[in-house]
Amino acid sequence: MAQPLTKEGPDPETRRVAPLPPVLRGFLWAAIGFIVFAALAAWLDPSRVSPYITAVGAVAGWFGAMIGWLLGIGGYEHVVKPMMGYPSPAVRTSGWRRYYEYALDHKVIGIQYLGASTGTFLIAGLIAMAMRFQLMSYRPTLFHYPQNYLNAVGIHGTLMMFTVATVAMVGGLGNYFVPLMIGTRETMFPKASGMSVWLVPLGVLTVAMSPLLGQWTTGWRGYEPLASSDGSGLLYYYLGVFALTTSSLIVAINLTATILFKRTRGMTWNRLPLFAWGILTVSLLNIIWLPEIQTTFVLGMLDKVMPLNLFNVFGQPLGYEYLFWLFGHPEVYIVVLPALAIWSEIIPVMGRKSLFARPIAVLGLVFVMLLSGMVWAHHMFTMMRFSEMLPFSFFTEMISIPTGFAYLAVIGTLWNSRLRLTTPTLLVLMSMFNFLIGGLTGLFLADVPANLQLHNTFFVVGHFHYTIIGGMVFSWMAAMYYWLPKFSGRTYSEFWGKLGAIWVFVAFNATFLNFFILGLHGMNRWVSVYPKYLQPENFWTSIAAFFLGAGFAINIIHIVWAWMKGPKVKENPWDAKTLEWRTSSPPPTKNFDTLPVVVGSFYTYGEGVPDPVEIPVSEMETKGSPG
């Protein structure tokens, strides 16, 4: 059945039916691109005895594949040809096929990002299960060589950090909801956004398939000089991350410009929704730090394929570590800031109580953003002079203050509220608890003497899983349940929602609280075998981890079921005030028939509080601009 098409370009009639679905054409063109570029590399190779696929050829071929993939998926007709003056073809605006091809609608793009990050979460989760299966025994069982295990750890970490943690909240929820929440019909750069999402599957496949080129053992950090002695699979780690970070960079630029310039009338900075503030602060961090890590990784890659001596034992391995952690620690806040913002978004709605100290909550996000670039060297206390440790220790402890502002706002809001204990509420409270544990153990690790003892133990692994899984993933789940009626016009089962939330909360804490104990008992990171006395604790930790994996699967199945088949629900079931609830569910292609005008705060509740939104009657008033 023919699907409706939007008229985007001057001559949509010129649209031709592609002989292949875009994804299949993307794969075909990617294969052709790989073959052509690898052949070019082989042709230019001065050594005539090299095989067809060399390290250089694999890198060149990857770039060819990337170009082919992006052109094949729709970049050729929708981006490259219009750049040269050809008309843009029409874009599908309804039906399931629109999720599998180039799109301009930020909501479709948001769902594409959410699908990609959820799929990757499952892949990374399965790898985690395999790791925990190995760690049930102190001897090799599943992974017979330590390199295999370390490679699994690296792929798990890379996919979780660069695809799930960085992408789900910003690329997924940010793309879908920020334009709705600020009252605009589209993002600032929809064409770039429509392309950027397709870099995610490319990046995920590249990282996941990287061991085919040879094992790499550096974890998600690509640490030098270990990287220099690793297999060529590391090249695809660098390239996969390059694709993923390019995608996130485009999202950051697009959403920042959208928030700056596309707000509807009356949407002043004082009225900007907290989630939009969270996305703005994260995006500013991404705009600075993602190009930094991309450059570092490309240099690391060149170091291997040229080969040079930039970061290996003959060069400056510590320099790589500096450059990595310059990005690496802001990355933690890139992951967490949207989660902190989600708390302030959900709790006032569920408590029917005005958000406590809203300016402080916003300042907390801003100061976390500002301080996040000043704490990075606490990851390197074991390789620094004492004199250098103090400022980084100081700022690491300082950053807990603006982080505490987010708690202050939510706890102040909870105080004396008549809280509706729904699934999103429960998950926010769980996320706050988890992040508190992560934050408190972070204070231990910021303290130099404790850090020197706990470095490279499971205590550190427990700490960052409490912040990232406990903080971000729980908030992501809260947001998914909260906004499910908006996505689909349907809702979930409170019973299954609460059961799923309690399940993952119990299993999560049973798993990762044990990590602290294991760490204190001497369990090292980066090992697949360990002293026998640690086996009982590891065994029960793994059992809890399997329950955790099952819990996440139950929640995902429940959300997908509710999205497709859940009971229909009224358009604003939470009686929330933000603008995304002022349009139908799911929202129409252009979001609003008439752009709303904001006249008050979204977070003020109480008797006699006027509606913060006005809908202009006249069509003349529908052109929005920042107030």
Residues that bind another protein (CB under 8 A): 80, 83-86, 188-189, 249, 252-254, 256-257, 260-262, 287-288, 290-292, 294-296, 298-299, 302, 306, 308-310, 314-316, 319, 322-323, 623, 625
Minimum distance, C-beta of residue 62 to another protein, in the bound complex (Å): 14
> Quick one: three-class SS letters along 496-525?
HHHHHHHHHHHHHHHHHHHHHHHHHCCCEC
Choice between 57 and 566, CB closer to another protein: 57
Cβ burial, residue 349 (10 Å; 0-12/13-18/19+): buried
Minimum distance, C-beta of residue 550 to another protein, in the bound complex (Å): 41
Choice between 119 and 291, CB closer to another protein: 291
16, 1, 4: which is closest to 94 by C-alpha?
4
Q: How far apart are CA 40 and CA 37, in angstroms?
A: 5
Choice between 314 and 533, CB closer to another protein: 314
Cβ atoms < 10 Å from Cβ of 313 = 11
Q: How far apart are CA 237 and CA 196, in angstroms?
A: 19
Q: How far apart are CA 584 and CA 592, in angstroms?
A: 8
Choice between 46 and 608, CB closer to another protein: 46
Minimum distance, C-beta of residue 292 to another protein, in the bound complex (Å): 5
Q: Under a CB-based contact definition with an 8 Å cutoff, are residues 19 and 50 in contact?
A: no
Which residues have CB under 8 Å from 385's CB, separation 6+? none
Q: How far apart are CA 557 and CA 92, in angstroms?
A: 28
Minimum distance, C-beta of residue 540 to another protein, in the bound complex (Å): 45
Minimum distance, C-beta of residue 188 to another protein, in the bound complex (Å): 5
Choice between 79 and 360, CB closer to another protein: 79
Q: How far apart are CA 483 and CA 481, in angstroms?
A: 6
415, 425, 344: which is closest to 601 by C-alpha?
344
Backbone angles phi, psi at 457, to 5 degrees: -110, 175
Minimum distance, C-beta of residue 199 to another protein, in the bound complex (Å): 15
Minimum distance, C-beta of residue 421 to another protein, in the bound complex (Å): 41
Minimum distance, C-beta of residue 40 to another protein, in the bound complex (Å): 14
Choice between 187 and 538, CB closer to another protein: 187
Secondary structure of residue 614 in the 3-state scheme: strand
Choice between 143 and 162, CB closer to another protein: 162
Choice between 80 and 383, CB closer to another protein: 80
